[in-house]
């Protein structure tokens, strides 16, 4: 009797769930949710084909150095790299002396305390220091950026879907708001202080266009600094900051695959040797 009651209760519960599911599906079909401006006009980035892409991908050191130069001269005014140390730049091909010079000459110094007075002060950066934030705290960062908080860029290529391509598309995506959008969605005019960018999730971003013209960052290696080239280079650099051990991971994966192939061949040979005298 108890078992029968349990079966009936279970059957009733499943039936209620089935009815609810059917009602939800029927409502979605007969009365679909209204299309939004974000859903219709949001764009998805295209693959920019960096050298680091793919199973055998490797970083282009010259491109990483150019990307660092773009970050230094453009992005560092607002965005931090709190998970990257100056000494990590040696992986980009900089010598020990160049790393020390970059750290010492960095525009923003490290916060410190005067040992004699105990008052807050600053000191020169050293290679073991991480890149300092351009702002003393979040309040100061928001005050300088129309109440928007500039995100840290250390892991941006991992924090956003298709991050490398997203960074490039976002930097190149500033444009006038299309008339078709305003006609179809009259209440979606870009607010004052924001900028229309269809590659941003809600179409309007607080960051002004950081790359404004060709030649904005004169490259030390002589590469022509078009806006597209600068966007590609800084996207490559931020891919490295997010995954500096990418090349070692690729090498370890390749070595593992080779090891497994050799192991399978040896196992097959051992099997053949052990069972060679056995007749089927």
Token pair for residue 263?
């192991």
List, in order, residues 6 or more apart from 239 with CB less than 8 Å away.
50, 52, 157, 163, 164, 246
Round to whole Å and give the CA distance between 57 and 149: 33
- Tell whether 230 is in a known binding site: no
Residue 210 DSSP label: S
280 is in an annotated binding site: no
First and final CA of the chain: distance in angstroms?
Answer: 58
Beta bridge partners of 203: none
Distance from C-alpha of 156 to C-alpha of 81, rounded to nearest angstrom: 10
**Cβ-based neighbours of 264, under 8 Å, separated by 6 or more:** none
Angle at which helices 227-242 and 163-172 cross, to 10°: 150
DSSP state of 85: B
Residue 264 among known ligand-binding residues:
no
What are phi and psi for residue 85, nearest 5 degrees? -100, 155
Residues making up the annotated binding site for heme c are: 75, 78-79, 207
Residues making up the annotated binding site are: 75, 78-79, 207
């Amino acid at each position: 009797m108890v078992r029968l009651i349990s079966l009936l209760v279970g059957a009733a519960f499943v039936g209620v769930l089935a009815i609810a599911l059917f009602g939800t599906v029927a409502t979605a079909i007969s009365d679909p949710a209204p299309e939004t401006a974000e859903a219709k006009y949001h764009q998805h980035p295209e693959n920019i084909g960096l050298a680091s892409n793919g199973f055998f991908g490797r970083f282009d050191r010259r491109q990483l150095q150019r990307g660092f130069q773009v970050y230094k001269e453009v992005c560092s005014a607002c965005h931090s790299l709190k998970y990257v140390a100056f000494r990590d730049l040696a992986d980009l091909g900089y010598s020990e002396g160049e790393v020390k010079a970059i750290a010492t000459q960095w525009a923003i110094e490290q916060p410190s305390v005067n040992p004699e007075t105990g008052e807050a002060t600053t000191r020169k950066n050293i290679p073991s220091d991480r890149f300092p934030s351009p702002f003393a705290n979040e309040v100061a960062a928001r005050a300088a950026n129309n109440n928007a908080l500039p995100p840290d860029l250390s892991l941006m290529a991992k924090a956003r879907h298709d991050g490398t391509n997203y960074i490039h598309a976002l930097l190149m995506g500033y444009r006038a708001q299309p008339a078709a959008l305003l006609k179809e969605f009259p209440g979606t005019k870009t607010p004052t202080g924001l900028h229309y960018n269809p590659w941003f999730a809600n179409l309007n971003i607080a960051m002004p266009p950081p790359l404004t013209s060709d030649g904005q960052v004169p490259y030390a290696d002589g590469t022509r600094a078009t806006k597209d080239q600068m966007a590609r280079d800084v996207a490559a650099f931020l891919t490295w900051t997010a995954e500096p051990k990418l090349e070692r991971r690729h090498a370890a994966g390749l070595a593992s695959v080779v090891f497994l192939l050799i192991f399978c061949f040896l196992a097959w040979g051992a099997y053949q040797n052990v069972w060679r005298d056995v007749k089927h």
